A and B are shown apart, each in its own frame.
Chain A
Amino acid sequence: MASINLHGNSYEVDEDGFLQEPDKWTEDVAKAMAEMEGITDLNETHWKVMNYLRDYFKQNGIAPMVRKLTKDTGVNLKEMYELFPQGPANSACKWAGLPKPTGCV
């Protein structure tokens, strides 16, 4: 298993960098992961999207449909890619501590 070091703490991640133990997630993890993709300032909308993802995941055990995410947060797909360089799955979900989406998605 791979691991990453953030501010002196070690976290287990899969080969794509997704957190393996969602319980260990903190806001600092999100900030550090964002920094690794070149985003140093997380704004209110970043947090709105990530909090939505975390809430949805807690209730349903998976990430929401992208269409549902954009509709419920009011952040359209273009804006989503501006906020999260690799998109809703590979950046937003990852920073929010969700596991990598699976299946034919």
Chain B
Amino acid sequence: MKKSLKIKDISLNGDAPITELNLDDLLPLPPPYDKIEEQPGWKRITEEQKGRIVCNLDGVVGLSLPRPETPEEEKKYVDLFVTGMQKLLSRENNWTFLQPLLLSLEYCAKCQTCSDSCPVYEASGKNDLYRPTYRSEVFRRLANKYLKPGGKLLAKLNNEEIELNWTTISRLYELAYRCTMCRRCAQACPMGVDNGLITHELRKLFSQELGWAPRELHEKGTMLQLKVGSSTGMSPKVVKDNMEFIDEDYSELTGFDVVTPWDRKDADVLLIHNAGEILSWPENPAAFTILLNAAGISWTLASDDPAYDGVNYGLFYDDVQLARIALKHAEVAKKLNVKKIVMGECGHQHKALMTIADRILLGDMNIPRESSMTFLENLVFSGKIKFDPSKNDFPVTLHDPCNIVRNLGIVEPQRRILRYLCPQFREMTPHGVDNYCCGGGSGFAVMSQNNFKDWRVAVAGRKKFKQILDAFADQPGPEVKKYLCAPCSNCKGQIRDILDYYGAPLKSGIIYGGLVELIVNAMTDLKEPFIKWEE
């Protein structure tokens, strides 16, 4: 039985976790996944690891922060945290998000409506630590106490005591990576408070001021992308080799002449994929090539780094890194003189390049950007390609990537395609802007150190897994092959891990993939099915 948690607990009892997770507490799953003893659970952190890395939050370690060696080192980081808070709350250092941050700090009525909307909180069995308000309230109290005149006295009078020490900041750092920033809570809040944004601002403080960021997002993410062109490590030469391989492979498989165009100046469309698709889900870029060629679109991919990889992990933790990458994306588009950039099936790419980058892409750098969802809808209904929806006559449901749907409001285009091309399309409950996050949002899908992957699958992704199973509850057995459409690379990575974790492809017959694969699968001219049910 878990104990209730107070805000001030975050500062106390340095080395010990402040909460404990038990499988029995988690949201129950429907059969055949309902038996606790058959659920994989998560790896325990070893004593050897505890001696090296900070493990003081919930028994889960996603960040592997080294333990400080001296009290001086601890103090250095605590002092940096204070200057970081000052910067977050000043216009010259935080022109990107200052106003919504201030409003979110000011207006929380502590009604907890947000908690009920949070999939992590609900799936955890309502663990106080995962309330959207918990980390926000810690930050609010710290800012009030340490930055406002008379703050220390007021903290006492208002009974809002909290200590700022190494324990507080090391826990808060790990806790900034227990929220997927899906912003379902922000949508639910009657006051418009955005606790997802507060998570984001905390991550930003840690990265920009303390130099703390997850290795997968920073060193192996944005830094690698800025160095070689892609967070996958693919150089321009390797990405072209790989696409050439995909072209040949899918020419053989489909009988079409699959040729992906590169670096065509003055093309109407520069398509930017998430490069992870090329390595892990090659059927997705192949399907785009087949479809765009069949429709006679003037289009191209770019081999200049980093415009063959649409990812921008800066969105998740660091405004400066985000800006560096977004600028480079736009520079390549400008050099090629394309009419617009179309986002591949990648949610955070949509948000980074279509909206947040608006703040820095000025004048002729402000090249029109479009979502693949609307772009594909226009293409499907243009009459240029013949479709036979009976080819997609199997159960299909749709996962709504938070960044595309709730955060950008692109809800219907993908549905109009599925209603037209998939006779057995059914919605999840709830869906659209009320969707639940896959649990891999905000970079989690690529983070898997220690036992973090177990946590993001078993806790953060639990609600989504239940939703997927519920959507197919009329035909739950593996004999009926079912398709989960998830038009986002991050979501696909997470969904793959969820399905594998529970053995769901075998037990329930569920496969997953993108949107464009379903469109190509329905093409009348296609001889063999494009979607392969078994490898």
Contact = CB atoms under 8 A, between A and B. Distances in A.
Interface residues of A, number: 20
B4 interface: no
A40 to B, nearest CB: 23
Interface of B: 49, 52-53, 64, 216, 220-221, 224, 228, 230-235, 237-238, 241-242, 245-246, 249, 274-280, 282, 309, 311, 346, 445-446, 448-450, 489-490, 493, 535
Contact of A105 (B224, B249, B276, B346): B276
A36 interface: no
Contact of A71 (B238, B249, B276): B249
Contacts, number: 85
Contacts of A16: 448-449
Given A15-B64, A103-B232, A65 B282 contact: yes
Tell me whether chain A's interface is mostly helix, strand or loop, or mixed: loop
Interface of A: 2, 14-16, 60-62, 65-68, 71, 76-78, 101-105
A105 B449 contact: no
A61 B238 contact: yes
Contact of A78 (B231, B280, B535): B535
Contact of B245 (A62, A68, A76): A68
B535 A104 contact: no
B78 to A, nearest CB: 25
Chain B facing A: main interface SS: helix
Given A16-B449, A104-B280, 7 more contacts: A16-B448, A65-B245, A65-B278, A67-B282, A102-B216, A104-B311, A104-B346
Contacts of A61: 228, 233, 235, 238
Contacts of B449: 14-16
Contacts of A78: 535
Contacts of A14: 449
Contact of A103 (B52, B237, B249, B446): B446
19 contacts: A14-B449, A15-B49, A15-B53, A60-B237, A62-B233, A65-B278, A65-B279, A68-B245, A102-B232, A103-B221, A103-B231, A103-B232, A103-B233, A103-B275, A103-B446, A104-B276, A104-B346, A105-B279, A105-B446
Contacts of B490: 104
A90 B450 CA distance: 13
Nearest to B449: A15
A70 to B, nearest CB: 9
